[in-house]
Chains A and B, each alone.
Chain A
Amino acid sequence: MEVTGTMSTIIDVENFGKRYRRLDVISNVSVTVQRGEIHGLIGPDGSGKSSLLKAIAGVLDFEHGIIRVFGQRVNSEEEAERIKGRIGFMPQGLGQNLYAELSVEENIDFFARLRMVAPADLETRKTRLLEMTHLERFRERPMKHLSGGMKQKLGLVCSLIHQPELIILDEPTTGVDPVSRRDFWVILSQLLEEYGTTAIVSTAYMDEASRFHRVSLMYKGEMLAQGKPQEIRALVSGTVVVVKASSQIEAFAILKSQYLQVQPIGHHLRVFVGKQSSEQAESAVKGSLSHLEIAECYSLRPELEDVLVTLLIDRNEHKNVGSGPVFKTMGRKNGKRNGPAIVARDLVQNFGAFRAVDHLSFEVSQGEIFGLLGANGAGKTTAIKMLTGILPSSSGNGQVAGVDMQKAAQTIKSRVGYMSQAFSLYEDLSALENLKLYGGIYGLSGTGLKERIEQTLALTGLQGYESEMTQGLPMGVRQRLALSCALLHRPSILFLDEPTSGVDPLGRRRFWEILFQLSREEGVSILVTTHYMNEAEHCDHLVLMYAGRSVADETPAGMKLALRKEAGELLELTVDRPVRVLEVLEENGLSDAAIFGNCIHLLTKNISDTVLKIRFLLESNNLSLHKVDEIPISMEDVFVHRVMALEKHASQRQQA
């Protein structure tokens, strides 16, 4: 402690490299983390985040480079042992580092005993930590009966019980619902400030970048960029233009020919225009679409994902994903039937005493992209299983393609395509063999099957992969192969369960383009589930799920509009000491504020009054306020607000 007390560099990674099975999976990665910093390691699955974190924690052997923690090398097991008393490490996976059979308190006690925490210290720390994480009430509850969010908070408590100088957290928020996620970040910020702990945290959610002081952007085992979130955003200059034109498909085709990054978002198109100001960019986009009627056109600041994709395009990575879809039949829909494609009425699913789906109702129109948005365990997969006739419902009913889900499960199966979470491909078959197998299952054969396979491969851009073994394919390609399998029998309805989990942003964008084409051009109705909040914006229509219930049922834009009407605009305050600022605001009745790195986000109806009040409060508490921005509301804000309102309502009812 004395030796390193004066040193400000906590982690110093120089040219780190890791080999797996004789392949250099990670190479030339360098990172430094300063004392007191919350450092974010951001990148899609497979970018090498976990390996780097494990190497830093001294729990993974590596081949290249030098890693120093607290100035101590950790290049061998003996060296690594010297830092372990001063670090905390939380591995990836919900509650994976905890002990299922032990209660909340027993878990904490075990970590404390393992770390030789003095009994008196343990009691005070435990009380404080349980109170902060709102786990006090659940002391006696076995860990296996906690929700995902609570498990992660308990994991954090256990990793911090010995007050380490450095804490290493591997994807602590993956699969956790947005409310718990927000909670988690606040608690982490508060604890780190209280204990003066440094943190390095990895995440696969691009939109979490603003939670960190500094960020490292990783991709396929390489370091793409490093710096403060705003510095990384500034690496790529340009504007995002959102436009709504009279013919979305036509506009998409035109813009796609001129810009590399065009995404269909609901009925809008989202275009990244490089190296131009918002006015220039908007007029350029409008100019390209001059012969179309433009209903809406506005610009946004680029998100971290836009930056990542731009950096990847600079490296020609997008060529590996294949070209975008080719539109042959402009806007022709094959909608033969009328009425909704899917109807769910009061669906209930009980697993013993646990209610996985609780009176869920919604409707999906023909040719619509419909999203079920919720955390792991919110009941999305169960809902899909009931609608497709895989799982009989406890009560309620549903119709898919005009048939009752209870009575005609077989008919439903022939009319829908289903792609499951794990993609359900046969690993030791080639891509073509998988397609033939699925074609056979759906009763296709001979030239009919051959033709269909060719058509589907053209649609999903998988030509050339036919003879490759499935197990060797990258995630993005597997995902499109699984989609191809689900499309072979020309279903009019597609069920996609977490289709983009584990796929990198380029692959995800490519996938959504295909879904867009299927929906707009072939009139396929698509029901898709996701736990990526920002992905929900692609849907025409959304249902937010929380604890098996639907908490909102609207278009994404409608949801944001409703929130704006109800709670006002979103303010971003850039400050020096966000944890202290949050405390001051909460003491003075400005609740529902959230910490994002060095910023505070806050919803308010009366902007000028609130800003005045904040300035006054912070000044009188000697806290600096650098700037105040109005920023667009995100789907996460909507989700958090809805769930909080629901919980408040429930607790009021309980008290009454």
Chain B
Amino acid sequence: MNYQRILAVAKREWQEIYRDRLFLSLAFVFPITMMIAFAYGLSLDVEDIPIAVLDQDRSELSREYIHCFKDSRYFKFKGYLEHPDEIDELLITQHIRAAIVIPEHFQSNLLEGRPSPVQHLLDGTFTTRARTVKGYMTAITRAFEKDILINFFTKSFGVPPQRVTEQLTPIKVQIRYLYSQAVESSQSLPPRLMVLVLLVASPFLTVVGIVREKENGSIYNMYASDVSRSEYLIGKLMPYMIIATINAFILWAIAIVMFQAPFKGSAVLFIAATLLYVLCTTLIGLVISVFVRTQVAGVLITAILTIVGGTLYSGVLTPVSMLSEDNQLFCHLLPAMYYTEIVDGVFLRNIGLTVLWPNLLVLAVYSALLLVVGYTKFTKRPKA
């Protein structure tokens, strides 16, 4: 191994990347854009749901009921409706996502102890969101019912409201969301997105870098010279590793600064894990480029493998434990999940090496395997 040749290859690669403005901007703009777009677009929290009300009773109680929704941070009150036909139109045009219809005699029925129907209309296009909205609406309605009951008991039997409340809800549930106090995905998602973005971006650049050399034929300079396979591969991959490392730092900064993600764990552990992950993803690029001949094929295969792997089998968007057994197996076969666990642990939970060392080991073994495959399959004397 000769470091002068390695440096020659690395320097030339860097010069080419640096002067190809399109490639250079792609190297940095693409991951940053992906991070920001996903972080904003993929927010899983449901808030400010636009809602409208058709109040046919126009009573004190109906207004009180509606007020509960107006006060909630989950709903955004868009106004009263005059006619039932309006509901359809507003839902279709997506001006509202839910509507409430309060029929006549709502107040009188309730005051006289009779049940009154209330209709909740929901846009069910996205089932998860619809279910969440339904949950909020039901919870608000239950709270309202409780108030009516308290009122009833107080007025009818003279029991103080405090006492009624205690009798009605004897169990005091106390929930504390650990590791992400606000239960806002905007805090836990951006750090995890690093996993996905690095998984897609670094192999992508590596594949384009290696395969374009194959495609235009300049790789024959390497084949025909006495530069060894390892010298070439190290020199060639070095610039891409560096770019990916810089990107990892930028993504980390975005998560902390733009999205106010907490960072509770050890920086040293995180840097070590990130370097391992960057190596691992760059080597995925190497392995793909050994098997393809054209840039188009390389980019397609990379996109499919990394995007599918990164979104479905990485634990970034859906916790691994929520997947079916088969899919969990997939997750364990891919490197992303192990890094996701490290990211979660370091950002949100301050978990240290004592717990996370197997994850680091897996990433290291994974990298070694990829390197072996890439190195043995890369030949300076191909068959065609």
Contact = CB atoms under 8 A, between A and B. Distances in A.
Q: Do A and B bind each other?
A: yes
B12 A102 contact: yes
A59 B8 CA distance: 21
B183 to A, nearest CB: 50
A89 B11 CA distance: 22
B4 interface: yes
B221 A97 contact: yes
B382 interface: yes
Nearest to A110: B12
A114 B381 CA distance: 18
Interface stretch (B84-92, B223-231, B303-311, B332-340): B223-231
Contact of B380 (A80, A101, A116, A168): A80
A61 interface: yes
A142 B16 CA distance: 11
A116 B5 contact: yes
A610 interface: no
Interface in A41-89: 54, 57-61, 76-77, 80-81, 84-85, 87-89
A619 B228 CA distance: 51
A237 interface: no
A289 to B, nearest CB: 51
A116 B2 contact: yes
Interface string A103-115: 0001000110111
Contact of A97 (B217, B226, B227): B217
A98 B218 contact: yes
B19 interface: yes
A114 B225 CA distance: 8
A110 B8 contact: yes
B2 A89 contact: no
A59 B16 contact: no
B236 to A, nearest CB: 12
B383 interface: yes
A115 B226 CA distance: 7
A96 interface: yes
A59 B380 contact: yes
B226 A60 contact: no
B8 A114 contact: yes
A92 interface: yes
A67 to B, nearest CB: 12
A96 B218 contact: yes
A116 B4 contact: yes
A7 B12 CA distance: 37
Contact of A96 (B2, B217, B379): B217
B9 interface: yes
Contacts of B221: 89, 97, 111, 114
A85 B228 CA distance: 11
A579 B334 CA distance: 63
A74 to B, nearest CB: 9
A6 to B, nearest CB: 23
Given A113-B5, A113-B8, A114-B227, A80 B218 contact: no
Query: Interface residues of A toward B: which range?
Result: 35 or more
B19 A114 contact: no
A403 to B, nearest CB: 41
Given A101-B16, A110-B8, A115-B225, A81 B220 contact: no
B216 interface: yes
Contact of B16 (A80, A81, A88, A99): A99
Contacts of A114: 5, 8-9, 221, 225, 227
Contact of A113 (B4, B216, B228, B380): B4
A59 to B, nearest CB: 4
B220 A89 contact: yes
A93 B217 contact: yes
Nearest to A114: B8
A147 to B, nearest CB: 18
Nearest to B18: A101
Contacts of A351: none
Interface in A217-275: none
B384 interface: yes
B93 interface: no
B15 interface: yes
A487 B261 CA distance: 69
A97 B225 CA distance: 12
B20 interface: yes
B164 to A, nearest CB: 79
The residue among B11, B16, B226 with the most chain A CB atoms within 10 A of its own CB is: B226
A61 B217 contact: no
B102 to A, nearest CB: 65
A190 to B, nearest CB: 23
Nearest to A63: B383
B13 to A, nearest CB: 9
A87 B224 contact: yes
Interface in B163-178: none
Contacts of A116: 2, 4-5
Contact of A102 (B5, B9, B16): B16
Contacts of B5: 113-114, 116
A314 to B, nearest CB: 32
A568 interface: no
A113 B379 CA distance: 22
A102 B216 CA distance: 15
A91 interface: yes
Interface string B354-384: 0000000000000000000000000111111
Given A99-B16, A113-B8, A116-B2, A81 B217 contact: no
Nearest to B17: A101
Contacts of B2: 116
B224 A92 contact: no
Given A81-B226, A110-B8, A20 B381 contact: no
Contacts of A91: 217, 220
A84 B220 contact: no
Contacts of B9: 114
B19 A77 contact: no
Contact of B379 (A77, A106, A110, A142): A77
A101 B15 contact: yes
The residue among B4, B12, B380 with the most chain A CB atoms within 10 A of its own CB is: B12
A80 B381 contact: yes
A615 B383 CA distance: 53
Contacts of B16: 99-102
B4 A59 contact: no
A96 B382 contact: no
Given A58-B224, A102-B16, A115-B226, A81 B380 contact: yes
16 contacts: A57-B223, A57-B224, A58-B224, A59-B380, A60-B384, A77-B379, A80-B380, A80-B381, A84-B225, A85-B225, A85-B226, A97-B218, A99-B16, A100-B16, A101-B20, A106-B15
Ranked nearest first, the 7 interchain pairs of A and B with the lowest CB-CB distance are: A89-B224, A113-B8, A59-B223, A101-B19, A85-B226, A96-B217, A91-B220
Given A96-B216, A102-B12, 14 more contacts: A58-B223, A59-B220, A59-B382, A61-B383, A76-B381, A85-B226, A93-B217, A99-B15, A100-B16, A114-B5, A114-B8, A114-B9, A116-B2, A168-B224
Interface of B: 2, 4-5, 7-9, 11-12, 15-16, 19-20, 216-218, 220-221, 223-228, 379-384
